[in-house]
């Protein structure tokens, strides 16, 4: 090795050693300044995704996963689509802390609202509801996307997302009322809890942050739901369940939503939160649920 190259290498090693002595790490790129990394955010889905706890594709038989104390008399069900799955990382620590048996029944891209849907989705929903009834839970947590994906058909015609809203709300009311009739829940007005859908970002926050060198101010967006309050919230009000938990109170300020909380990245794509951020909300969610 040439003398010049040796001197450069030696100088680099000295800098690295000095940083280690001072308890600091060498500088990292923009992507690695956040948790999860901007490059790995899409994969930060949490335990329920890792454990394959969601049905999809041709499968109509519900996949049932258990967390916490499996044989506990405190049985809490999480029921919904991928927007329910995202709350698993926050709920699993609560199940362990509170001694629940947390049971999950989830299907990606399938509305739990009782509406006409793709046949495999509708079959899964019916089977999942019957399974929940047999479980005789003490509490049910429901959550669903209210985004563009749920556009319905009526008399052979494709409806716009806006035109689908009323039918989705009515279908959600039917689902909630069926859950309320489960004999283990019928005496408890607060036994079914909705976690409302969050604000959908108009872009993928991780990509925006990379493009703007980690400057969060460049990647904020308005605190405004695209389709109004949402069919999930409207159905919960009509069906008379409570409490309703609104994650926007944690995710956003009064007018604006930031893609990060400190160095924690909130969104893994435009409409799902990261497992890392969900875990940070476990205590906040515990207070809202009020399940002993």
What is the Cα–Cα distance from 122 to 222, expressed in whole angstroms?
Answer: 34
CATH fold group of domain 40-289: Rossmann fold (3.40.50)
Contact 133, 106 (CB under 8 A): no
Instruction: Tell me the three state secondary structure of residue 273.
Output: strand
Tell me the per-residue pLDDT of 215-226, one tens digit each, with 9 for 90 and over. 999 999 999 998
The helix (run of H) or strand (run of E) holding residue 268 is: none
Predicted local distance difference test score (pLDDT) of residue 31: 79
pTM greater than 0.75 (yes/no): yes
Instruction: Dig out the tokens for 152 from the structure.
Output: 């319905």
Contact 128, 113 (CB under 8 A): no
Instruction: Dig out the tokens for 102 from the structure.
Output: 């947390």
The total of other beta-carbon atoms located within 10 Å of residue 240's CB is 12
Average pLDDT over every residue of 69-90: 96
Tell me the per-residue pLDDT of 240-265, one tens digit each, with 9 for 90 and over. 998 899 999 999 999 999 999 999 99
Top-confidence residue, 1 or 104 = 104
Tell me the per-residue pLDDT of 32-67, one tens digit each, with 9 for 90 and over. 899 999 999 999 999 999 999 999 888 999 999 999
Q: Tell me the range of 1-10, 182-191, 193-202 where mean pLDDT is highest.
A: 193-202
**Is residue 11 exposed (0-12), middle (13-18) or buried (19+ Cβ within 10 Å)?**
exposed
pLDDT band at 16 (very low <50, low <70, confident <90, very high): very low
């Amino acid at each position: 090795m040439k003398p010049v190259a040796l001197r450069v290498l030696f100088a680099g090693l000295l800098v690295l050693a000095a940083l280690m002595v001072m308890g600091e790490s060498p500088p990292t790129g923009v992507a690695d300044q956040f948790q999860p990394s901007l490059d790995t955010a899409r994969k930060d889905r949490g335990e329920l995704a890792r454990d394959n706890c969601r049905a999809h594709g041709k499968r109509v038989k519900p996949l049932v996963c258990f967390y916490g104390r499996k044989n506990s008399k405190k049985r809490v069900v999480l029921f919904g689509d991928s927007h329910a799955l995202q709350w698993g990382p926050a709920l699993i620590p609560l199940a362990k802390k509170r001694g629940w048996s947390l049971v999950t029944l989830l299907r990606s891209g399938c509305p739990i609202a009782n509406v006409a849907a793709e046949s495999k989705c509708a079959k899964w929903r019916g089977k999942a509801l019957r399974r929940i009834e047999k479980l005789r839970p003490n509490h049910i947590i429901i959550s669903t996307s209210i985004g563009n994906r749920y556009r319905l058909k009526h008399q052979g015609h494709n409806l716009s997302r806006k035109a689908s809203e009323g039918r989705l709300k009515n279908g959600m009311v039917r689902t909630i009322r069926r859950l309320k009739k489960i004999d283990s829940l019928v005496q408890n007005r607060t036994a079914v809890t909705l976690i409302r859908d969050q604000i959908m970002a108009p872009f993928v926050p991780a990509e925006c942050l990379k493009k703007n060198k980690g400057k969060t101010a460049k990647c904020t967006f308005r605190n405004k739901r695209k389709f109004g309050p949402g069919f999930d919230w409207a159905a919960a009000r009509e069906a008379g369940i409570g409490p309703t938990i609104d994650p926007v109170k944690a995710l956003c300020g009064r007018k604006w939503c930031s893609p990060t909380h400190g160095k924690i990245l909130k969104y893994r794509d435009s409409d799902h939160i990261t497992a890392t951020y969900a875990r940070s909300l476990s205590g906040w969610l515990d207070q809202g649920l009020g399940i002993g």
